[in-house]
Amino acid sequence: MLNNRETSQQGGNQMGDQISIKMQDGFELSAYRSLPSAQSKGVVLVIQEIFGVNAHIREVADVYATQGYSAIAPALFDRIERDIELGYAEADMGKGIELAFQGLEMAQTMRDLQSVVDHSATQGAVGVVGYCFGGLLTYLSACQLSGVAAASSYYGGGIAGELDHKPKCPLIMHFGELDAHIPMTDVEKIKSANPRIPVHVYDADHGFNCDHRASYSKQASELALQRTLAHFDQHL
């Protein structure tokens, strides 16, 4: 359920606005929403990194809006504390890990994502894309949630430990060969467990999609986006 409480996004050059979505238990989760200029081709649910719905995640949502999709990025940390936006310094990394893996309760987070999918499905087919922590949640969304038409997971840490779960929708995955957080042995396990799923490996590091980080790779980012857009264009 979308509330009428909406305000324009303050600061920066973001295209979208802030909305509130009611969860299954009545809790109101905030989300950044970015809309296309013409009729929407579908909805892309953008799942945050451990750094919250920060400027980068809003920019990612805007990119999908410019490609014709309605994009929505729910602030999953609202269950702990509202308006969390972290940077990429070491202290931010530590706080983000604590919030994501100690503060959030995974079953509740998946229920919240189901609520966002249910809301979004009233506007068209729903695709899910996520990065880092969001890459893990994207994999789990493809496996566990109803109403997900397609998914694209970027460098999701922890997926190798969730391979008992099998995707129920078309899924593609992206990893960086230089990623110290996700060893290639884990990527090979993921490939072996899901032989029909395209698993793309780039000459890049963890976080290669984020141009706010030193690990950003323009070439890998652009190629992964092309593949994700083609995936969504086919299935949404």
Which residues are marked as active site?
A: 132, 179, 206
CA distance 130 to 197: 16
Q: Does residue 159 contact residue 135 with C-beta atoms inside 8 Å?
A: yes
Please name the amino acid found at residue 104. L
3 state SS of 29:
strand
Neighbours of 91 (CB within 10 A): 9
Q: Does residue 130 contact residue 156 with C-beta atoms inside 8 Å?
A: yes
DSSP β-bridge partners for residue 74: 31
Token pair listed for 81: 């504390």
Torsion angle, alpha carbons of 183, 208, 76, 104, to 10: 20
Residue with tokens 């986006």: 225
Q: Where on the phi/psi map is residue 72: left (φ > 0), alpha (ψ -120 to 50), or beta?
A: beta
